[in-house]
Every structure is written in structure tokens, then in C-alpha cells.
Amino acid sequence: MPAVLSPKAATDKTDKSIHLQGNASRLMVELRSAAKTYLNGYKALLDVNLEVKQGEFLFITGPSGSGKSTLLKLLYGQELPTQGEVIVDGCNVGTLRGDRLSLFRRRIGIVFQDYKLIPQRTVAENVTVVLQAQGYTRKEIQRRLEATLKLVGLFAKGDCFPEQLSGGEQQRVSIARAIVATPPLLLVDEPTGNLDPDNSWQVMQILQKLNSFGATVIVTTHDEQLVRRCNHRVIQVRNGRLYKISA
Ligand SMILES: Nc1ncnc2c1ncn2[C@@H]1O[C@H](COP(=O)(O)OP(=O)(O)OP(=O)(O)O)[C@@H](O)[C@H]1O
Ligand SMILES: [Mg+2]
């Protein structure tokens, strides 16, 4: 296993990421009567209550358009709740602005459904942009880059630009970018949408490995087979409301 993602690395004093160890019963995510109505009046989420413990792995399933991505956007502060409260890692996300929001986001690794890679930057640059912004040393950036690209099977593609990659490879670059700083919370929106079953399972194993080191992981997916293969809590979103599928 690459040293960068080993528990030792995660708790190393030189590590700039938040420590992954902690009180397992502490809540990482709390939504209290949260709702999201978009500017055009569309009610995407209605009165959502959810608690996710630190260190938990949670699947969010549900039909297209049900509100899964909107829920992750509320957790990341990309969208503000129009009602209720969204508390993540002790922060009331809806009240964060400017630098406080940027600092808060450093503690979250996010894989966007549409990847959001920077087209003019290489794979290596896309993955390390997070580390550059956080002031890691060049040596540490290189160490983490290599280990993370190896982990997602893209070590040979570091110098490629996103347009030179397949959809599945771009998806894995966005996963590499999300995990390279070993954040305590990973939000992953449809991570296997463009992957074949073998690669999907590989990505799930990476996410589960990070979870086993202490990261809280929240994954949205349409892939019922993948959900069944893993033994994690599942909630379903339907028409903007949450339903418990398994404890
Ligand atoms: N910026 C926006 N303005 C207005 N409506 C929006 C906006 N973003 C999303 N919606 C609507 O909110 C609903 C929920 O969208 P969301 O992207 O959360 O769904 P989803 O469950 O992630 O779907 P999918 O599985 O297709 O990714 C959809 O009906 C969508 O059209
Ligand atoms: Mg979505």
C-alpha cells in the first residue's frame, strides 16, 4: 500500500491534513430540517434530517433528479440551504463565506459528478493543485502525487491533459485529486458512472481503504450492485426526501 495513504502518514506530524483519528461517536455531518429551493423555485430538498458519524461510510442512492448532488453541494457549501441547518465537522456551513469557506473546504475531498478538471493543466497539476494551495513542500507533493496516481492506476498518465484521457480515466483523476490530501471527509458524487465493473470495484476498494483509516465517506451512486456488494448504511433520496434503506 502506498505510504501516502497509510495510517502512519495520516497521523504524521508533518501531515498538513486534519488528523483522521478521533472520537468515533462524534458527528461529522448533521442536517436539521434542511431544505433547498433553487432560485427558479424548484424544491430540490425538503425537510432533510441526517446524521453521519465520524468514520462512517454512507451510500446515497435514488433516481435521477431526486436531489443527491444537491445534498452533497449543501455539505460542501456549494449551495446554501434555504431552510434549516447544515453542520459539517462542527461548522455551520450555511454561515461560512470567503476565507472561512475556503479553509473549511480544505478538510473535504470532493469528487464532482462532472469531474471539474482544469482542461489546460496536466493530470499531475490537476491532482496537486490542492496540495500547492495548502503549502505542502515540493518533496511531499511529489511523494503524494506518485502514490496517489499509482493507487488510481494512472501513474503513466501524469503528463497528459484531460482531453487526452477516456471518461473513466478523467473520473479517476478527479478521485485522485479528492484523496491526495487525505481529508477527513470525502464526498463522492457518482464515482463509478463511467467505469466498467472491475474499475468500479477498484474505486470502491480505494474509498473503503480510506474509510478504514478513519475518513468519513459519503458516496452517491445509481449502481445497486455495487451497494449490495458493500456492507454499508444506505439512504435513498426520492423527490427531495430521505428514506432509510438499511441501518
Ligand atoms: N441550479 C439549479 N437550479 C434549478 N434547479 C436545479 C438546479 N440544480 C439542480 N436542480 C434540480 O434539482 C433536482 C435535483 O437535482 P440533483 O442534481 O440534486 O439530482 P441528482 O439526484 O443528483 O440526479 P442525478 O442522479 O441525475 O445526478 C433536479 O430536478 C434538478 O433539475
Ligand atoms: Mg447527481
Confidence of residue 146 (pLDDT cuts 50, 70, 90): very high
- Which of 36, 37, 38, 110, when mutated, tests ligand 1's pocket best, judged by the most ligand atoms within 8 Å of its CB? 38
Residue nearest to atom 12 of ligand 1 (CA): 44
119 C-alpha to center of ligand 1: Å?
24
Task: Render 57-125 in DSSP notation, one character per residue.
Answer: EEEEE--TTSSHHHHHHHHHTSS--SEEEEEETTEEGGG--HHHHHHHHTTEEEE-TT----TTS-HHH
Distance, CA 30 to ligand 1 centroid (Å)? 21
Say how far apart CA 151 and CA 155 lie, in whole Å.
8
Every domain of the chain and the residues it spans: 27-107+188-247, 122-182
Residue 194 has a pLDDT of 80
Q: What is the rounded (10 degree) CA torsion for 68, 70, 75, 81? A: -130
Average pLDDT value for residue range 217-245: 93
Question: Which of the pair, 24 or 3, is modelled with greater confidence?
Answer: 24
Crossing angle for the helix pair 123-133 and 138-151, to the nearest 10 degrees:
130
For residues 101 and 89, the answer to whether their CB atoms sit within 8 Å is no
* Predicted pLDDT at 22: 47
- Model confidence over 207-223: pLDDT tens digits? 999 999 999 999 999 88
Mean per-residue pLDDT over the chain, rounded:
89
70-85 mean pLDDT: 97
231 Cβ contact list (under 8 Å, min separation 6): none
Asked whether residue 160 carries a pLDDT value surpassing 80, the answer given is: yes
Contacts of 35 (CB under 8 A, 6+ apart): 43, 45, 46, 47, 48, 81, 82, 83, 84
More confident residue, 93 or 9: 93
Evaluate whether 192 touches 199 at the Cβ level (below 8 Å). yes
**Record: fold of 27-107+188-247:** Rossmann fold (3.40.50)
pLDDT at 20 over 60: no
How many angstroms does the Cα of residue 78 sit away from the middle of ligand 2?
Answer: 14
Query: Given this model, what pLDDT does residue 225 score?
Result: 86
For the cut 60, the answer to whether the pLDDT of residue 2 exceeds it is no
| Least confident stretch, 10-14, 78-82, 165-169 | 10-14
